[in-house]
Chain A
Amino acid sequence: MRQLRALLLRLCCLFHSRRSEDEFEAELESHVAMDTDDGIRAGLTPAEARRQALIRLGGAEQARQAHRERRTLPWLESLFQDLRYSLRMMARNRAFTAVAVLTLAIGIGASATAFTWIDAVLLHPLSGVAEPGRLVAVESVTPNGEWVPNSYPDYVDFRIHLKLLDGIAVTHPATFSVGNPDHAERVWGELVSGNFFTVLGVKPERGRLFLPAESGDAQGAYPVAVISDRYWRSHYAADPGVVGRTIRINQHELTIVGVAAPAFHGSLPVTAFDLWVPYMEQAVLSGVQPWMLRDRHDRNMLGIARLKPGVTVDQARQELEALARRMAVANADVSEGMSATMMPLWKSPHGPQGLLVGPLRILMGVCVLVLLIVCANVANLQLARATVREKEFSARLALGAGRARLARQVLTESLMLTVAGAVLGVAATPWMSSALKFLMPPGPMQLLVAMDTRPSLPVLAFTVGLCLFAALVAGLAPALQVGRLNLSVKLNGGGRSGAAGRGRNRLCSVLVASEVALALVALVGAGLFARGFETSLHIDPGFDPDHVLLGQFYLNTSGYNLQQRKEFCRRLAERMTAAPGVTNVAYSDGVPLGFEPSWWEELRIEGYAPRPNENMNIFRNVVSPGYLDLLHIPLVEGRNFTEQDNEDAPGAIIVNQAFVRRFFPGRDPIGQRVNGWGNHWFRIIGVAKDSKYHYLSESAPPYFYVPFRQIYREDMNLAFYVRAQGDPENVLSTLRAQTRAIDPNVTVFDAVPLKEFIGASLYPQKVAASLMAVLGGIAVLLAAVGLYSVMAYWVAQRTQEIGVRMALGAQPADVLRMVVWQGLKLTAGGLIAGALLALALARAVSAISFTNSAMGVGAKLMGDAGADPLIFAAAAVFLSVLAALAAYIPARRAASIDPMQALRTE
């Protein structure tokens, strides 16, 4: 307590030290005066008395010094001195300060942003839940090893039989239409099992969440809903009386029972949902047939489980796998060969994080690269400045400053620069973090991105760590240099840097070489990603997306039943076909190369005996007769669907070439029979050319099309295609107008040109390529600045040598050649090191794959361009030119000055 009081007082004294100094001066004065008085009284002469008084005092200056040290905190005072001095130095060298601070700001800002994203996506995938570490994702596994969502009956089995879990919940993201028919609004929410909030451990902000009684499996028995805090604030003005109010969802009335905690955004990472409704309401809300909820085929539920305390993921997975094996046998008709697995949430292939994980990993690596370049740059700059200041340091050493004190001064300066850079960088972080949504495909997913972009505590800690790291790296070299200064040599030699120390020259060469190496890695990386992206852009999707407008409808949210839906489609197609500027109209369930899951059906094929455990789940699309024509997918055999392939006609099916290759090798498929959809028979009427279905790099899987009118169901999507004569955007207004003419309550959602929409399947690659392009650009820019500054400094050091050479008869051209040649030699060393590093990195990166939410299958981010010699060569040439320029400009300046001037410089 006493110590604390003393410390505080000493701190205070830092700020009015002048006054206390004066006061102590007066006290000393009175002390000496009194002592002198006593001396005089004892019979001494005034002069002698004063002398003796001063002796007894033990030296006035020592007393002052001791008093001063006790009065304030000396180390703090010298720190302030260092800081003041650093500020003065920074202000005096504005260009240097600006370059260093900006460089650091870019490096630190980029790293902090990357870490914010990684924190949000990988480390804290879900916010507002209790003990997220015990939550795992549960996925079904197809006989082919693909991860797919779960069916509701499977979930019920999991819930009953798994003992190592503290509960398992399922959820199905969905859109709802909220409000009256005349001004309905689309809201994203989740259809969840009743125990959803209990399993996640979410707390209500108002009211209550779902009760145990609402966790049952009785259909349509729980007309309740929970809204998000965000929705509560935006739509109910945070009215506490919202609990118990009625909310109109898909034209059915549900009661709001509560508001979820503000931090809770739903069960998909980085995604914000606003509404939660018990899954059992789906039959009522979406007009889904009750039997569908009991269908083990209907695998559309994402599973989230909570492990019991102390249970590891592996233990729980073993229990789950054992259960899934028994279930696969018990339900062999639908689940033969199926299994199930669980994994940490961030590994789940469903939802945006599946897309983001791969790019984020690369981003992290790139940030480290940028940061390294930043540190090298700042170290370079500092080193160059340390040389300029050699004399100043020598003078300070000569005046009695300790080496440690000087080194501390240099470190303080680096720290100041870093802090300034960090403040700028962190200030830019929230702004940069919100750019995450631009990494998402356009359309609904982008609107949904919810992320806390304020840097959190770990992010700040990370940044502070980075700062210290950067400051140490940047300050260490010059500080060591100061420690090594040899006083007499420096002062006597007048800073003749001809002998500027081999040590520093070597250090300088290493810095140049490492700058070059890092820049090469950045350039090659950017080149490889751009190349990979470009290659996949040129893959022929097998259909023609140009001039096609895609509009999506959510008819279930308008309370349409199946008959009304089909009628709506037919009438809209009729009207659109008649509209001017429209050449074709078609509609389907799935969109090729889209982002929605692609569905499959388990088929039995007449005349084909599947091997045991062969996966007979074949991907399919449900299409209107005009679909293949509209997308310019040619039929290689047979006929297309017509309006006559309706509900009453015999089942018809069109398969692709891969389907034929696999199931009818050497046979004519036309007229063969296929069984699916619960023992319905379809006859193959045509064979369509292979095209791309899920992502561009896939090799054609077996695929088939069935007629819309025969197979379309309530829980399917509805995508409408319009082929226009010119720009597809032009027919958008027509589509809107015609839709309104049929039913004013139906809205066209997400109408975009198909070409843009299918770009979504390229997103991971596009993101990686653009990230690398941006960061690679920054890295190259920084490296160029660094390279130039180091080269300029290196040449400047040799001004005298150049002067001597020219005085001895060397021509400016000789000097230039020599300097540039030596610069290039350094660069070559860096290039070799960089090339080796880039090769190793390219191999590591090409192993990173991304998952497509449609498939849950890994796809490669980068083509096999891992060792593309052209890119390496181009990057090397570019950097060599850069290095030559960086050496040439200062060398020319050095060579153009008068030799006498150069010799006299020092």
Chain B
Amino acid sequence: MGEKTDVWQGTLALMVLRTLETLGPLHGYGLARRIEQTSGDLLQLNYGTLYPALLKLEQEGSIRSRWGVSENNRRAKFYELTKAGQRQLKKAAAEWEQTTAILARFLTPAEEA
């Protein structure tokens, strides 16, 4: 299990939402680093792909952005969760848990046998 996994479609949005929920407003770079760290460096995140995902979430109204100043005094664009985003996160997380639970049922007995 040494190799890093690519982020597959659809989960990145969930990761972004969840990260923003726990850490509050964050800029793109910080988000990318945080997601990598949270995954225990198992994820190979191409930072460039983060931005279209952020744009999509923003267009859908789940997050909003504004310009601010980073901890190192750099001008950066900060993203934060909206009310709609919180709802969306709750829904997506529930769906995801259900999916993994179902998959787990399929996978677990196989290991027992």
- A3 to chain B: which residues have CB within 8 Å? 60
Q: Does B74 have its Cβ within 8 Å of any Cβ on chain A?
A: yes
What per-residue 1/0 map shows which CB atoms of A128-160 lie under 8 Å from chain B? 000000000000000000000000000000000
Chain A: minimal CB distance from B62 (Å): 8
Quick check: A58 and B49 within 8 Å, CB to CB? yes
The segment out of B16-24, B50-58, B103-111 that lies at the interface is B50-58
Secondary structure at chain B's binding surface: helix, strand, loop or mixed?
helix
Within the assembled complex, what's the spacing in Å between the Cα atoms of A108 and B2?
69
What residues of B have a CB within 8 angstroms of the CB of A57 in the complex? 46-48
Q: Which residues in window 54-103 of B have CB below 8 A to A?
A: 55-56, 59-62, 70, 72, 74-77, 84, 88
Residues of A within 8 A of B29 (CB): 30-31, 34-35
| Contact residue among A5, A27, A33, A59 (Cβ-Cβ distance under 8 Å from B51) | A27
Tell me the A550-589 residues at the B interface (CB within 8 Å): none
Q: Nearest chain A CB to B50's CB is how many angstroms away?
A: 9
> What sequence of 0s and 1s flags, for each residue 16-42 of chain B, a beta carbon within 8 Å of any chain A beta carbon?
000000000001111001000000000
Q: Mark A62-83, 1 if CB is under 8 A from B, else 0.
A: 1100110111000000000000
Besides A30-B74, A59-B48, A63-B48, 8 other A-B contacts (C-beta < 8 A): A9-B59, A10-B59, A24-B51, A34-B76, A56-B47, A58-B46, A63-B51, A66-B52
Let me know if A323 is at the binding interface, CB within 8 A.
no
Chain A, residues 7-28, CB within 8 Å of chain B (1/0): the string is 0011000000000000110111
- Given contacts A5-B61, A27-B28, A30-B75, are A69 and B52 in contact (CB under 8 A)? yes
When the two chains form their complex, are residues A31 and B60 in contact, meaning their CB atoms are under 8 A apart? no
Bound Cα distance A59, B61 (Å)? 27
B52 touches A30 (CB 8 A): no
Chain A residues within 8 Å of B27, by CB: 30-31, 34
Alpha-carbon gap, A63 to B33, bound state (A): 17
Check if A27 sits within 8 Å of B77, measured CB to CB.
Answer: yes
In chain A, residues 592-636, which have Cβ atoms closer than 8 Å to a Cβ of chain B? Answer: none
A221 interface residue per 8 A CB criterion: no
B70-A34 in contact (CB<8A): yes
B60 close to A6 (CB less than 8 A): yes
Residues on the A chain within 8 Å of B47, using CB: 31, 35, 56-58, 63
How distant is the Cα of A62 from the Cα of B72 in the complex, in angstroms?
27
A-B contact pairs, 28 of them (CB 8 A): A2-B88, A5-B60, A6-B56, A6-B60, A23-B77, A27-B51, A27-B76, A27-B77, A30-B29, A30-B75, A30-B76, A30-B77, A31-B28, A31-B47, A31-B76, A34-B27, A34-B70, A56-B47, A57-B48, A58-B48, A58-B49, A62-B48, A63-B48, A63-B51, A67-B55, A70-B52, A70-B55, A71-B55
Which A residues have a C-beta under 8 Å from some C-beta of B? 2-3, 5-6, 9-10, 23-24, 26-28, 30-31, 33-35, 37-38, 56-60, 62-63, 66-67, 69-71
Distance, CA A33 to CA B56, complexed state (A): 24
Q: How far apart are the CA atoms of A627 and B89 in the complex, in Å?
A: 99
A2 to B48, CA, bound (A): 24
Residues of A within 8 A of B33 (CB): 38
Bound-state Cα–Cα, A63 to B45, Å: 13
CA A69 – CA B59 in complex, angstroms?
13
B-side contacts of A34, CB under 8 Å:
27, 29-30, 70, 72, 74, 76
Using known A-B contacts A30-B77, A31-B29, A34-B70, determine if residue A2 contacts B60 with beta carbons closer than 8 Å. yes
CB of A376 to closest CB in B, whole Å: 47
For the complex of A and B, list the 5 residue pairs with the smallest distance between their C-beta atoms, beginning with the closest: A63-B48, A58-B46, A6-B59, A58-B48, A70-B52
Tell me the complex Cα distance, A488–B62, Å.
Answer: 51
Q: How many whole Å from A297's CB to the nearest CB in chain B?
A: 81
Contact residues in A for B72 (Cβ distance below 8 Å): 34, 37
Given known pairs A27-B51, A56-B47, the reply for A37 and B74 (CB within 8 Å) is yes
Least Cβ distance of B91 to chain A in Å? Answer: 11
**A contact residues around B75 at 8 Å (CB):** 26, 30
CA distance A115 to B53 in the complex (A): 52
> Nearest chain B CB to A509's CB is how many angstroms away?
53
Chain A residue at minimal CB-CB distance from B36: A56
Q: Which residues of B contact A23 (CB under 8 A)?
A: 77
Known: A27-B28, A58-B46. A33 touches B74 (CB 8 A): yes
Contact partners of B61 in chain A: CB under 8 A? 2, 5
- A37's nearest neighbour on chain B, judged by CB, is B72
Contact of A5 among B48, B59, B74 (CB under 8 A): B59
* A5, A24, A56 pick with most chain B CB within 10 angstroms: A56
| Bound Cα distance from A26 to B70, whole angstroms | 14
Which residues of chain A come closer than 8 Å to B77, judged between CB atoms? 23, 26-27, 30
* Max count, chain A CB within 10 A of own CB: residue among B48, B74, B84, B88: B48
When distances are taken between beta carbons in the complex, the residues of chain B under 8 Å from A35 are 29, 47
Closest partner residue, chain B, to A24 (CB atom): B51
B59 touches A66 (CB 8 A): no
In the complex, which residues of chain B have a beta carbon less than 8 angstroms from the beta carbon of A9?
Answer: 59
B80 CB to nearest A CB, Å: 15
| A67-B56 contact, Cβ under 8 Å, with A30-B77, A33-B74, A37-B74 | no
Contacts of A37 in B (CB 8 A): 72, 74
Interface centre among A2, A24, A59 (most CB of B within 10 A): A2
Alpha-carbon distance between A837 and B59 when the two chains are bound, in angstroms:
60
| Residue contact B74 to A66, C-beta cutoff 8 Å | no
Q: Which residues of the partner chain B approach A56 to less than 8 Å between Cβ atoms? A: 46-47
Which A residues touch B74, using CB under 8 A?
Answer: 30, 33-34, 37
From residue B52, how far is it (CB to closest CB) to chain A in Å? 4
Residues of B near A63 (CB, < 8 A) are: 47-49, 51
CB-contact partner of A70 in B56, B62, B76, under 8 A: B56
Give the distance in Å from the alpha carbon of A878 to the alpha carbon of B60 in the complex. Answer: 68
B52 touching A67, Cβ below 8 Å: yes
A306 to B75, CA, bound (A): 80
**Closest A-chain residue to B45, C-beta based?**
A56
* Residues of chain A within 8 A of B28, CB atoms compared: 27, 31
Closest to B73 in A: A37
- Cβ of A69: which chain B residues have Cβ within 8 Å of it? 52
Q: Which residues of A contact B76 (CB under 8 A)?
A: 27, 30-31, 34
Residue among A10, A26, A38, A66 making CB contact with B48, cutoff 8 Å = A66
**Complex formed: what's the CA distance from A30 to B76 in Å?**
6
In the complex, residue of chain B having the shortest beta-carbon distance to the beta carbon of A12: B59
Query: In the bound complex, how far is the Cα of B55 from the Cα of A10, in angstroms?
Result: 10
A35 CA to B45 CA, complexed, in Å: 14
A30-B74, A35-B29, A70-B55 are contacts. A60–B48 as well, Cβ < 8 Å?
yes
Closest-by-CB residue of B relative to A6 is B59
Residue from A2, A24, A66 within 8 A of B49 (CB atoms):
A66
Nearest to B30 among chain A residues (CB) is A34
A9 to B75, CA, bound (A): 25
Q: Provide the bound-state CA to CA distance between A6 and B54, in Å.
A: 12
**Distance in Å from the Cβ of B12 to the closest Cβ of chain A?**
12
